[in-house]
Structure 1
Amino acid sequence: MARSAAQAKDAGPVLLSIGQVLAKLTPEHPELTPSKLRFLEEQGLVSPARTPSGYRKFSAGDLERLKLVLSMQRDHYLPLKVIRDYLADLDAGLRPLLPGGSARPSRPNMLSTGRRFTRDELLREAGATPQLLAEAVSASFIQASDLFGEDALQMLAALVALAGRGIEPRHLRTVRAAVERELGLIESAVAPLAHRRDASGRAKTADTAQEIARQLDTVRRTLLQSGLDRLAP
């Protein structure tokens, strides 16, 4: 028995095949496929080892890295370029802020966006009244649910702050309409890519859509700032 344990130790770290990686990750990330896994490798987000026969072998570190990438895509809707830059900073020994967040994660593979809130917890965390939450749901700013994510918390907290200035959810319907029009622009722009049904094509479509959204956000913020500058005395 002792000899077998010593032999296992000498064999080095356990490496996983693509199938084994999928078995570990697809319960939480069902969108992951062999094609998408290869696409993430092509994009430089993970670099598995290769056997002499050319088969990919993933280490425990590769697995954690993939968990982080997939979670950042799912929970933060980040384009691959932003994720790649974030990982490069981690690899360089830095402690970058999580893109789209305000605090450093205690570990690279731990994301705060996994939190879920009951209705009462959401109201307490945001400092909101039940009436404001009902108005937010009625105006389609927050989806009705038994459990709410951090996106709902951020939205409700913003609505609380705006309500303190006399701006209620019903006043923001034009903002939502503008967002719907932007989504229409994005959908039209990525339409030439959307015909690809493979995982690589879907990933590229999603990445392109996120990049367009970021540029549209820059345009919106710049226009708002220009207007605010004109209001300044």
Structure 2
Amino acid sequence: MSGGLAAASSAPRSGATRSDQAGQNAKVLNIGQVLDRLRADFADITLSKIRYLEAEGLVEPARTSANYRKYSVDDVARLRYVLHAQRERFLPLRVIKEELASLDRGETPVHRPGPRALPPHPAPTGLDAFLGAERVRMSRRELLAAAGLGDEALTELEQHGLVGPIAGGGYYDSDALLVARTVALLAGHGVQPRHLRAARTVADREAGLIEAAVAPLRGQRGGEGSGRHAETADELAALLVRLHAALLRSRLAAGRSS
């Protein structure tokens, strides 16, 4: 068990029992400081993700009179537990929440350590696709099994630049799984990977647009500034997905009416 898991497994429930741990939790952190602490182990973490986990009831930071979040040591441990369970065991938030509830009751979670389960079939989503999206890591073999593809088919996707392993390692993430499954569904309608080069080109251009838009935030000092860079990039990407979907629907509707 990692240090983060060990800390979380003995942590009290966020909010409700914090008064019983006043001595342990005397040190409080703002959300930017929490982001800095987590980022060393979870490079994809953003302010949006931390807020999303709070909205899902997985952590309950205290609030100041001005309504600013204040996180205790236990809150950070719980966040580490959640992020580790997502990345290493591919657990959905519902199951992780059940595990945390068991820990709060002093019980051993039924699902821990548990087998490495692949994430459920990801469906195309809208604005929330970039806000709070769960990140996973899987081997090539796991990706092939989860996507229902053969090795040759995955190699073809890689050759066309549609899928690739995470930089610096031989593992694939949840985006690779979503792309692979979506391309497999498109193939059932006669759309082949070579037909999708335009989609990759559009994605590359939009990524460049986003990077240019958020570049001024990168130089800001402090955790809040660096967090805003990633958070704003996610929000812009989600808005571009919404725009693309609306434009595509509009063009299809125009074609049907002509």
| TM-score calculated relative to the size of structure 1 | 0.60
Percent identity of paired positions between Structure 1 and Structure 2: 28
Q: Is 1:139 aligned to residue 149 of structure 2?
A: no
Give 5+ residue unaligned stretches, structure 1. Answer: 1-10, 51-55, 76-102
Secondary structure in structure 2 of the residue aligned to 1:200: helix
Secondary structure in structure 1 of the residue aligned to 2:157: helix
| Cα distance in 2 between the residues matched to 1:210 and 1:159 | 23
User: Bigger CA drift: 214-223 or 145-154?
Assistant: 145-154
Deviation at 1:109, TM superposition (A): 8.4
Deviation at 1:178, TM superposition (A): 0.8
Structure 1 residues 219 and 61, CA, compared in 2 at 3 Å: closer, same or farther? same
| Cα distance in 1 between the residues matched to 2:171 and 2:216 | 36
Q: Which residue of 2 aligns with 1:8?
A: none
Secondary structure in structure 1 of the residue aligned to 2:164: coil
Q: Which residue of 2 aligns with 1:189?
A: 213
Q: Is 1:217 aligned to residue 238 of structure 2?
A: no
Contact 2:25–2:73 at 8 Å: present in 1 too?
yes
Deviation at 1:204, TM superposition (A): 1.1
Q: Which residue of 2 aligns with 1:149?
A: 173
Contact 2:28–2:73 at 8 Å: present in 1 too?
no
Structure 1 residues 146 and 57, CA, compared in 2 at 3 Å: closer, same or farther? closer
Match of 2:140 among 112, 119, 135: 119
Match of 1:29 among 38, 42, 46: 42
Structure possessing the higher radius of gyration over alpha carbons: 1
Task: Report the structure, 1 or 2, having the larger helix content.
Answer: 1
Structure 1 residues 206 and 215, CA, compared in 2 at 3 Å: closer, same or farther? same
User: Bigger CA drift: 172-181 or 138-147?
Assistant: 138-147
Secondary structure in structure 1 of the residue aligned to 2:204: helix
1:105-136 deviations in Å (ceiling 9; x for gaps): 223388x5465433233222211122210011
Give 5+ residue unaligned stretches, structure 2. Answer: 1-18, 65-69, 100-118, 120-133
Q: Which residue of 2 aligns with 1:17?
A: 27
Q: Which residue of 2 aligns with 1:180?
A: 204
RMSD over equivalenced CA pairs, Å: 4.1
Query: Could you say which structure has the greater relative contact order, defined with CA pairs below 8 angstroms and 6 or more residues apart?
Result: 2
Structure 1 residues 190 and 146, CA, compared in 2 at 3 Å: closer, same or farther? closer
| Cα distance in 1 between the residues matched to 2:254 and 2:160 | 30
Report 1:197-212 matches (<5 A).
197-212=221-236
Q: Is 1:107 aligned to residue 96 of structure 2?
A: yes
